[in-house]
Structure 1
Amino acid sequence: MTANSPRTDSRRADVWRALDTVIDPELDEPVTDLDFVASLAVSDDGDVAVHLRLPTSFCAPNFAYLMASDAKTALSELDWTRSVSVALDDHHDSAIINAGLATDAGYRGTFGHEAEDDLEELRTIFRRKAHVAAMERSLTALMAAHPWRSPQEMATVVLGDLPPGRTTDELLDRRSAIGLSTRPDAPVMVDHLGAGYVGLDVQLALRRARSTRISIEGNAHFCRGLLRTRYDDPDRTTISA
């Protein structure tokens, strides 16, 4: 087997980093972490070909298209790509989605009259849910580290009170995605408009946020199980030169 050139190896690393930014909107995890990347190939001339796969053939077409389209956009933004091909495998709408991606037809151009929902509106809904889950995760971790602090006190916590680490970084990313402040003095416990909570609403909001977080994490766990069932070795991605 011929070894890849250093440039090709570097470009493959670029491709993985770009795909790391592509998020499953419902599961709030990168397609790379979910093992949705079935294969990728990079040529010395700057051609990139990526195949994506999903846990079932009947995953929602709008989610499937959104992830595939986001992957193509992320890869096209690399400054060295000459051509980018993204294809979705083993989905009941693969032919339609792949044809639309190949011609950059957009969601409505791909599905025509069936595209009733606005993808950006859908993306916004799930970004808000992702923020709620990240907020709850951060505050729950803070209460676990400081058990003397009551749930009611979480309404006064600001971003600067959170410890550095992945949980805080993810919260900052989710806040930025929906236009919330990431300043250290910004309160953590806010809704998608930046409004805080007071009184009995604090504990109620925390309970609702916990339900949202558990739902997202449960769906992700379920989808991983489906992927393992559907494919013989879902933890191995084929990488070509």
Structure 2
Amino acid sequence: MATASVSGSREKELWRRLGEVNDPELDEPITEMGFVEHVAVTDDGGVQVDFRLPTYWCSPTFAFLMLDGVRKALDQLSWSPAYRVKLHDHMFAEEVNRGIQAGKAFGEIFGELAGALDLAGLKETFAIKAFKRRQEAVLRGLRQHGLTDRDILAMDLPAYDVARFEPGEAAKQKPRYRAALLERFPDRQADDPVFVTWEGQGIPVGALGAHLAELRGVRVNMEFNGALCRGLKQTRYKELDVVDGELTLVDFIMNRVPARAAPTA
């Protein structure tokens, strides 16, 4: 019984850590996106994670960033297990799997292919989008609670922390925006305004409507891409479920699916 209890608590911790890893473009946890297909904690405490993306040709940059995030999450597990992380059904699966297992950086894995990519710049672009999306959700939530624009924009961190929302997007994004704010501005004082631009500028009361309109554009784009990813993954693996064996999207492209498995009209 004690062994089962330990295994159960370790699996809960494992899922919690994996839930802290985001799709970098969508700012959604990889667990909610369905990219983590299978996890296991073995009898000796080892960890296995199987990972799949919506398409065979998903950006290798995104694949690396997510799996590097998984690697860092596993390194934080309380029992320091040996682990194996495996990306399936991707055009660079072998390269990424070998590189992640060896602890290599992106440039070491992809060599010349990575030469022209500004990975730091890409990460900053994703961080900006996440910051804006999270901020917009909280701002809308506060407006819906009846706070005036002046009250919202005067809010400091102590006031922000005691604000409460009903379950929903604002409640979900409230701690995530706080984390993004303090990561972006680690030296902020408790009485500094909570709602500022990515550049750290204050938002004039009369400009909040226009500011929200800009943030809405970011959110709509991210939500569309997220819905597209979920739809592609659902369609891809719903089709794979009707055939025996470990087929990949390449099998469909190359017409290697048995006739008996072809979808009916």
Alignment TM-score > 0.5, same fold: yes
Contact 1:66 1:119 in 2 (8 A): no
Contact 1:136 1:210 in 2 (8 A): yes
Name the CA distance, whole Å, in 2 between partners of 1:13 and 1:182: 34
Contact 1:76 1:84 in 2 (8 A): no
Which AA in structure 2 matches 1:14? E
In the superposition, the TM-score normalised over structure 2's length comes to 0.77
Structure 1 gaps of 5+ residues are 235-241
CA RMSD of aligned residues (A): 2.6
Q: Specify the SS of the correspondent of 1:87.
A: strand
Among 204, 211, 234, the alignment partner of 1:198 is 204
Task: Indicate how the Cα distance of structure 1 residues 128 and 11 shifts in structure 2: closer, same or farther if over 3 A, else same.
Answer: same
Q: Which residue of 2 aligns with 1:178?
A: 184
Cα deviation, residue 178, structure 1: 2.2
Q: Specify the SS of the correspondent of 2:238.
A: coil
Q: Which residue of 1 aligns with 2:37?
A: 38
Q: Which residue of 1 aligns with 2:77?
A: 78
Name the CA distance, whole Å, in 2 between partners of 1:213 and 1:188: 20
Q: Which residue of 2 aligns with 1:238?
A: none
Structure 2 gaps of 5+ residues are 165-170, 241-265
Residue 136, structure 1, aligned to residue 136, structure 2: yes
Q: Specify the SS of the correspondent of 1:46.
A: coil
Residue 188, structure 1, aligned to residue 187, structure 2: no
In the superposition, the TM-score normalised over structure 1's length comes to 0.84
Name the CA distance, whole Å, in 2 between partners of 1:174 and 1:204: 22
Name the CA distance, whole Å, in 2 between partners of 1:55 and 1:134: 24
Cα deviation, residue 56, structure 1: 1.2
Which AA in structure 2 matches 1:29? E
Name the CA distance, whole Å, in 1 between partners of 2:62 and 2:207: 33
Residue 145, structure 1, aligned to residue 151, structure 2: no
Cα deviation, residue 94, structure 1: 0.8
Cα deviation, residue 113, structure 1: 1.3
Q: Specify the SS of the correspondent of 1:5.
A: helix
Q: Which residue of 1 aligns with 2:92?
A: 93
Q: Specify the SS of the correspondent of 2:84.
A: strand
Name the CA distance, whole Å, in 2 between partners of 1:206 and 1:194: 16
If asked which structure has higher relative contact order (CA below 8 Å, sep 6+), I would say 1
Q: Specify the SS of the correspondent of 2:53.
A: coil
